[in-house]
Amino acid sequence: MKEAPLCSTVIAYCPRTPQIHPPGNGETLDVLKKKKEVEGRGRRGRGRRRRKRRKEKKKKKKKKKKKKKKKKKKKKN
């Protein structure tokens, strides 16, 4: 089989790597399969992790520092 020339346009579902497939509409089977998989997914599962509500952390109460008592000096006679 002849190697297919690199298509000039990058296929939408895979922005990082341009797919190698014959120009025009003669897309190879694996490319068509991938497209179908992507189409079927729709909007489901997109950004779900980001939307998850953050658990509110309980605020810790600050401990009050105890004041040190000053020792009274005894008067010398």
| Prediction pTM value | 0.17
How far apart CA 72 and CA 75 sit, in angstroms, is 9
Q: 11: how many CB neighbours lie within 10 A of its CB?
A: 16
Q: What is the mean pLDDT of residues 1-18?
A: 50
How far apart CA 42 and CA 62 sit, in angstroms, is 49
Cα angle, residue 11 at apex, residues 8 and 14 outer, rounded to 5°: 130
Q: 21: how many CB neighbours lie within 10 A of its CB?
A: 19
Locate the domains of the chain by residue range.
1-41
DSSP H or E segment with residue 66: none
Render pLDDT for 10-67 as a digit per residue (tens, 0 to 9).
Answer: 444 444 555 554 445 555 556 666 666 655 555 555 555 555 566 666 777 788 888 8
